[in-house]
Amino acid sequence: MKRPELMDLYTDFLTSSPNVASALVFSEVLNKTFSHDAITRMLAQSELSQKEYWRAIKSIVRRIEIEDGVISIDDFIEHKPHSAENELICWHYDHTSGDSKKGINIVSFTYVNSQMEPIVKLPLGFELIRKDEVVTKTVKQKGKFVQKTSRKASIGKNELLRSRLKILTHQNNIKYRYVTFDTWYASAENMNFIVLNLKKHFVCALKSNRTISFEIDKKGKQKQWLSVSEAEIEPNRPYQINLKGVPYPLILVKKVYHNLNGTIGVQYLVSSDIELSASDITGIYKKRWSSEDVHRSLKQNVALEKMPAKKECSQANHIFASMLAQVKLECMKIATKKNHYALKRTILIKALQNAWLETQKLKELCRQKFETLPNFQPA
């Protein structure tokens, strides 16, 4: 990358900016040491890779990784409702709202170290969903058959998950014991990959229609298969089960939640580590929410959604920069023991203090040149 120092400065700008990501504003903040065109060109260069991201954060990971570390996997949407569609910016199903949203779908890999104080939640890597195939379908609309086009990704989320985990484990040699994820990624293929290929364990949520068995006959075959929802399971008690498509035993725990509106929620958690207790499984799965914390902070503290770039490469490189800015914010959190929002408030208060001083200077200039200003006096 040409002018790599610009990327470092740009991540500092995202960390300190009040949720604005403008090349023009960035240039003015640096007293035009770099032109806004230079910054735009920097983002529009060839797309930065996960290999380069790893090189940037490797020394930090080595300081915070532990043998019992957890990698939390989740995806989220960077909303871009007014941007032109391309391979990155298109329509994706949003499980949080239950409908499709226009934006960039990002699969995140968050490293969680709960033994440090405060708890470390570090963006370890990420994958962008690229819907690079255009599919035409015939649908019936208002009594007529019409042609509709939509986009489809040639490489799906689950394939990206396995590929990235393989690199993090075998190439980057990251220390961790558990991988945690929700029902979207809880396929037998993913489970088997983590346990049999990576030699790690998982803790994840399970859909109620998954097929399980409790008993094994004398020949080693399952006596009865039934869906999770049909099984008689007591809450908060661990059960050793067999899951269809998984050739090793799992531990199943049922969680029951009483919501404020009077409804009852039921969640099933499973783990490949049969030595875990029910509370252990629940505690590890809670670390999955660290991904949600990172996603929220990316949007609110380092201007993830605020770059109005049009080119796919620039959009991808801005996401790369936002992830690095998030890592910087996490390092500041570790050093100061303050959360991201307290850190951001400290930065913005300093900025407002400087803005206040500049306002007073302008008021004084106005009095000298214009001789008057509005002066409120109560009746």
pLDDT tens figures, 237-254: 999 999 999 999 999 999
pLDDT of residue 4 exceeding 70: yes
Q: Where are the domains of the chain?
A: 4-182+288-337, 202-286, 341-379
* Span between the terminal Cα atoms of the chain, in Å: 64
Rg (CA), the chain: 25
Q: Do residues 106 and 127 make contact, with C-beta atoms less than 8 angstroms apart?
A: yes
Q: Do residues 150 and 91 make contact, with C-beta atoms less than 8 angstroms apart?
A: yes
pLDDT tens figures, 151-205: 999 999 999 999 999 999 999 999 999 999 999 999 999 999 999 999 999 999 9
Q: Of residues 262 and 113, which shows the higher confidence score?
A: 113
Tokens 């400065």 appear where? Answer: 9
- The secondary structure of 166-198 as a DSSP string is HIIIIIS----SEEEE-GGG--HHHHHIIIIIS
